[in-house]
Structure 1
Amino acid sequence: MTKLLVVKAHPHVEPSLSLSVGDAFIEAYRESHPDDDIVIRDLYDTTVPPLNDTTMSAWKHQKAGQELTAEEATLLSRHNEWLAEFMAADKYVFINPMYNLFLPAELKQYIDVMAVPHKTFKYTDHGPVGLIGDRKVIHIQAAGSVYHGPEANPMMTKLDFGDAYLRGIFILFGVKDFQSIFVEGADQNPTKREAIITAAKEQAAQLARKF
């Protein structure tokens, strides 16, 4: 069975442009892929396992073959559970708002947990090589200004570090099939708000049917 992992990285507030477009994607995907398994991971529902002093100590002890403390063992177990969920998926959808030209901290922390040598990529004499290249990704991101498309100032496009980062991470993982849906300009052009949302939902539904 094909598995779709949806990663939501948005606080639980309404209205949310990214979540509403994401929900439109999920609805269309479910209708066109009735036999697929859809798993939703809400990063604001549960805390992403941290990379902190305990994590580093646990990795050090594990590499040396030393016994872990109870705290270290628990934290590594959580890391492994989250990574296993990620690795079990065939397709990914990431949904987030732009925060100060980047991703929310929770999503960055999530990616840090997934970027594991010998799991999602490996080091070679010729540089890193991705290990999950058969997957697909769609990134749904909302922003108050316009950063992409024919109406965007080219300088603004360069300031979207979040989409570029996420795309770069999946290049590291070996994934080439990466598409983005940008819900942009609703704050900059409030009179066009509904048209912007409608267009993004239509794009999401179209991509969902082919994804």
Structure 2
Amino acid sequence: MKTLIINAHPDFNNENSFSYKLQELFLRKYKETFSNDTPEILNLHAIDLPRIDTTQLLNIWDKQQTGKTMTEEEQHMSEITNNLLFQFKSFHRIVIISPLHNFNVTSQLKDYIDNILIARQTFKYTSEGSVGLMTDNYKALYLQASGSIYTNDDRYTALDFSYNYLKAMFEDIMAFDTFYIARAQGTAILTEETVLQNAEHDLDQVFNAFYNL
């Protein structure tokens, strides 16, 4: 199954990070299941992501709508966005790997979402509201690392804005079939062994459904 891994960790090569360990955990399980396939990995902090800014995406979108000529730099940024969008739509299984930053997605991951959440491409506006266009058996899996625990139904549960945001964007806006999550949580308070055992259990619970196995 064609799978795109989107790694949003700022230090994505750091083998000591739990995001890295989550990625390795997923890759091992993937290789056991799909021995002849290899997922494509996109490290967001290894590329220059265009941002919603008056000198970047806002200016590019305005020029595209008005037919104005873009500068060479703007054409380059537009090409980056187009390539990211094409890549995103080409994979029916999306895996997002990211730490939780101040209860939300990393800034680079938000920038990435802004590059692929494009009207008439991944969703469209109608008189009854927006409608998702990613309806052909698309699924997403979020592998999240967090210092605290967010599944104890306490004050922290409602503060996991990253999960709520991503689930809404993928399921409600783009119409992905399902948005799954597996967590390496409590990294600041539990032993590494416990965190990874729990994460592997989480992944085992959703992996088969994620791939329709």
Q: TM-score, normalised by structure 2?
A: 0.89
Matched residues, number: 205
Q: Map 1:192-203; keep pairs closer than 5 Å.
A: 192-203=191-202
The Cα offsets for residues 87-107 of structure 1, whole Å up to 9 and x where unpaired, read as: 111100000111111111011
User: Which residue number corresponds to residue 39 of structure 1?
Assistant: 40
Q: Which runs of 5+ in 2 are unaligned?
A: none
Alpha-carbon distance between aligned partners in 1 of 2:68 and 2:188, rounded to the nearest angstrom: 54
Alignment of 1:144 with 2:147, yes or no, is: yes
User: Which residue number corresponds to residue 78 of structure 2?
Assistant: 76
Asked whether the equivalents of residues 54 and 71 of structure 1 are also in contact (C-alpha less than 8 Å), the reply is no
Give the C-alpha shift of residue 36 in structure 1: 4.0
Alignment of 1:49 with 2:71, yes or no, is: no
Alpha-carbon distance between aligned partners in 2 of 1:82 and 1:101, rounded to the nearest angstrom: 26
Alpha-carbon distance between aligned partners in 2 of 1:62 and 1:44, rounded to the nearest angstrom: 27
User: Which residue number corresponds to residue 10 of structure 1?
Assistant: 9
Give the C-alpha shift of residue 209 in structure 1: 4.8
Q: Map 1:92-171; keep pairs closer than 5 Å.
A: 92-133=94-135, 134-148=137-151, 152-170=152-170, 171=172
Q: Which has the higher contact order (CA 8 A, sep 6+)?
A: 1
Alpha-carbon distance between aligned partners in 2 of 1:56 and 1:83, rounded to the nearest angstrom: 17
Asked whether the equivalents of residues 141 and 182 of structure 1 are also in contact (C-alpha less than 8 Å), the reply is yes
Instruction: Pick closer, same or farther for the CA change 1:125–1:35 going to 2, 3 Å.
Output: farther
SS in 2 for 1:58: helix
Match of 1:58 among 38, 57, 60: 60
User: Residue type of the partner of 2:159?
Assistant: L
Alpha-carbon distance between aligned partners in 1 of 2:74 and 2:163, rounded to the nearest angstrom: 33
The Cα offsets for residues 119-144 of structure 1, whole Å up to 9 and x where unpaired, read as: 00000011000000220111010111
SS in 2 for 1:154: coil
Give the C-alpha shift of residue 201 in structure 1: 2.4
Q: Map 1:165-204; keep pairs closer than 5 Å.
A: 165-170=165-170, 171-189=172-190, 192-204=191-203
Instruction: Pick closer, same or farther for the CA change 1:39–1:89 going to 2, 3 Å.
Output: same
Give the C-alpha shift of residue 188 in structure 1: 2.1
Alpha-carbon distance between aligned partners in 2 of 1:205 and 1:51, rounded to the nearest angstrom: 37
Q: Which runs of 5+ in 1 are unaligned?
A: none
Alpha-carbon distance between aligned partners in 1 of 2:206 and 2:150, rounded to the nearest angstrom: 21
Alpha-carbon distance between aligned partners in 2 of 1:107 and 1:31, rounded to the nearest angstrom: 28
Note the aligned Cα RMSD (angstroms). Answer: 1.7
- Counting aligned pairs with the same residue, the percent is 29
User: Residue type of the partner of 1:28?
Assistant: K
The Cα offsets for residues 134-189 of structure 1, whole Å up to 9 and x where unpaired, read as: 201110101111111xxx14321100001110101102100131110111113123
User: Residue type of the partner of 1:3?
Assistant: K
The Cα offsets for residues 58-85 of structure 1, whole Å up to 9 and x where unpaired, read as: 2212212232222221111111011111
User: Residue type of the partner of 1:160?
Assistant: D
